[in-house]
Amino acid sequence: MTPAKDFDALILDMDGVLLDTRRSFTLATLLSARACADRPGLGEEWTTVEVERLRLAGGFNNDWDAAAALCLLGPLSRPGPTWNELCEELSRRGGGPDAVRTLAGVECWERARREVEPVFQRLYAGPRAFELYGLEPSERRGLHEEEVPLATPAELLEAGLPFGIFTGRTREEAGLGLDRLGLVLPPERLVCDSEPRFRKPGPDGLLVLAEALGARRPLHVGDTVDDLGSARAARAAGLAVRFAGVAPDGGEAERRLRAEGADAVRPSLRDVLIWMKEEEP
């Protein structure tokens, strides 16, 4: 474990770390899956808890992929232990779209993925759907307006380290997030899901940001197993990156991040920033 004083940069995830997105991306995942699922599909007994459990299977950092997986597999299961077991099966198969294709078939996956994406986008963007996605705007309030900052620009500056953001958002979505945070970031310090090589749990986003920040020993802060996977892959590529997870105390996400090798797991980014200042991590 690298001592906190040895970190030379911060590389932050956006959703779940800088912004509380449970009422935006996570809810849009559930609602778009429910709208596109076969009938009888995903009733009111399905909640965002099941979305979070799906993410722990790995490979679902892209919320459109998560929505398609829930749309296809949710109607074959039930919330609770049955869904948890199915998510474990996805994890054993490697997680992500490939695991769903194996269980549901390629054609079913492609159909679900194609159907959920515009539904999700209009739920998330609302009146700004054309600006973000080139879609007809919705008159309903966009769920992006429900996002809550989890740290301030001043708190990030007080950490005393250069920082960048590695996010699964599109650049347009990331712009909304930065506006919500009141944060101005140079373009080279923001890596988005703009091309396949920047998709988590791949390492390239971390490697590109480390170079832009002049960092050799960055701390990556994320909230999913895919964030941790990116850190592990970047370490394998030669970057001395460490990982701090953000997860509620005592939950399955905390247990999984610790079990898979996180250097620290804390309930919030603010707690991670405190941990960084401690003499002993």
Here the CATH number for the domain that contains residue 167 is 3.40.50.1000
Are residue 95 and residue 166 in the same domain, yes or no?
A: no
Among the candidates 110, 144, 178, a domain finishes at 144
Render pLDDT for 212-244 as a digit per residue (tens, 0 to 9): 999 999 999 999 999 999 999 999 999 999 999
Among the candidates 96, 116, 144, a domain finishes at 144
Are residue 96 and residue 207 in the same domain, yes or no?
A: no
Burial environment of residue 256 by CB neighbours within 10 A (0 to 12, 13 to 18, 19 or more): buried
Are residue 13 and residue 73 in the same domain, yes or no?
A: no
Residue 6: the pLDDT is 84
Burial environment of residue 280 by CB neighbours within 10 A (0 to 12, 13 to 18, 19 or more): exposed
Q: How confident is the model at residue 168 (pLDDT cuts 50, 70, 90)?
A: very high
Are residue 210 and residue 187 in the same domain, yes or no?
A: yes
Among the candidates 91, 109, 144, a domain finishes at 144
Q: What is the mean pLDDT of the chain?
A: 94
Residue 5: the pLDDT is 56
Render pLDDT for 241-265 as a digit per residue (tens, 0 to 9): 999 999 999 999 999 999 999 999 9
Cα separations in angstroms, 215 against 28, 47, 167: 35, 40, 18
Residue 188: the pLDDT is 96
Domain that residue 209 falls in:
4-20+148-277
Are residue 123 and residue 228 in the same domain, yes or no?
A: no
Render pLDDT for 79-103 as a digit per residue (tens, 0 to 9): 999 999 999 999 999 999 999 999 9
Are residue 255 and residue 155 in the same domain, yes or no?
A: yes
Could you tell me the pTM of the whole model? 0.92
Are residue 218 and residue 250 in the same domain, yes or no?
A: yes
Q: How far apart are CA 71 and CA 80, in angstroms?
A: 16
Residue 134: the pLDDT is 96
Are residue 51 and residue 86 in the same domain, yes or no?
A: yes
Total domains, the chain: 2
Are residue 156 and residue 273 in the same domain, yes or no?
A: yes
Are residue 211 and residue 269 in the same domain, yes or no?
A: yes
Residues shown for the chain = 281
Are residue 139 and residue 165 in the same domain, yes or no?
A: no
